Amino acid sequence: MSVRPFYQINNATYKEGLYRNASATPKYSVALGCSGDNQTQLVAPTSDDPHIYKDFLDDDHDGLMNQMCLTVENMDEFRRSLDTTKFETLAQLALEPAGHVLHLRGAGQQCPLIEVGEFPPAIYELFNRIKSAAERWDGRDPIRSI
């Protein structure tokens, strides 16, 4: 599987957030790339605020953390339908200027994480731009800044 080019976003921040029901606004740098319909995210935490990746690293895990993402049109509806006996909500993030992300995992499980996103149109446009760039990539300029 070839994943290129990567689009790098430095110090992504959130409007507000909760981690394990406590206020937290994590910061990350992330590189996004596609292979077909699959998106790969390389995430590097850039703050010491509590967040899912910090727990993973603090537990002496190194390397890949498995995560999958699904999108919803209405996060409030999704939250109401969530069976909290089967899923634990780790993080809730409000995106700037709009949208929300939840990080969940199965009750009693470490991985995989499930990311649920309610994204504004601009995020989908970015994802489509990254996918389109991967389809026509000629091997030049493998890391691009956003």
Residue 99 falls inside a structural domain: yes
Low-confidence ranges of the chain (pLDDT < 70): 1, 63
Residue 1 falls inside a structural domain: no
pLDDT the model gives residue 114: 93
Note the Cα 65 to chain centre separation in Å.
11
Residue 58 falls inside a structural domain: yes
Q: Are 101 and 93 in contact (CB under 8 A)?
A: yes
Residue 110 falls inside a structural domain: yes
Predicted model pTM: 0.85
CA distance 146 to 86: 37
**Structural domain count, the chain:** 1
| 62-99 confidence digits (pLDDT tens) | 767 778 899 999 999 999 999 989 999 999 999 988 99
- Which domain, by its residues, includes 15? 6-138
* CATH code, 119: 3.10.180.10
